[in-house]
Amino acid sequence: MILVLLGISIIFFIILFIFIDDADDICISLAPLMLFVIKLGITIWLIVKITELSVIDNKIELYTKQNKEIENKVESVVKQYMEHENKTFTDLKTEESYITLVTLYPELKSDELIKQEINLYENNNKKIIKLKENKINGRIYKWWLYFGK
C-alpha cells in the first residue's frame, strides 16, 4: 500500500512537470498534501497490522489443535497398519512420532488420506511459524506507530 501511494505520487508529479508550465509552483504547494497522504496510508497500514495481533494467539491455538487432531488420526491409522502387519514390525519401537513412522513405510506413505493429513499438518506448521513471525513483528509495528511519527 505504501509503495502504491508512493508510485501514484511520483507519477502524479511527473505528469505535472510534463504537461503544466507552472508545475514547480503546483508541486511545491501539493508536496505537503502528498506527504500527509503517504503518512496517513502508513499509519492506517500499521493500525491494521496491530489489530491483527489481537487474534494471532487464537489462530496459533486453532492450528495447534488441528495438528493434534491430525496426529491422532495418523496415529490410529499407523496403529491399525502395525496391527495388520504385526509380523513385519515386531522389532519396531513406537517411541517415534507417528508422523515420522508414516514416512518410513511406503504403504502408509502412499495412502491418500495420510498424504492429505500430512500435507495439512505441514501447512499448519508453516502457518503457525508465519503467525509467530507476525507476532514478533507486531512489536516493531507498535514502535513505528507510537514513536515513528
Q: What is the pLDDT along the chain (149 residues), one digit of tens a residue?
A: 556 666 777 777 677 666 666 655 666 666 677 777 778 888 888 888 888 888 888 989 999 999 888 888 888 777 777 776 665 555 555 566 666 666 666 666 566 777 788 888 889 889 999 998 988 888 888 887 777 55
What range does the domain containing 9 cover?
2-52
40 and 64 together in one domain: no
Is there a single domain that holds both residue 44 and residue 9?
Answer: yes
How many folded domains does the chain comprise?
2
Q: Are residues 29 and 13 in the same domain?
A: yes
Domain boundary among 52, 70, 88: 52
Q: Is the pTM for the entire model greater than 0.85? A: no
Phi, psi of 93 (to 5 degrees): -95, 130
Alpha-helical segments (H) within the chain: 2-19, 23-52, 56-84, 98-104, 106-109, 112-147
How far, rounded to the nearest angstrom, does the alpha carbon of residue 118 sit from its chain's CA centroid? Answer: 19
Q: Say if CB 46 and CB 141 are below 8 A apart.
A: yes
48 and 74 assigned to the same domain: no
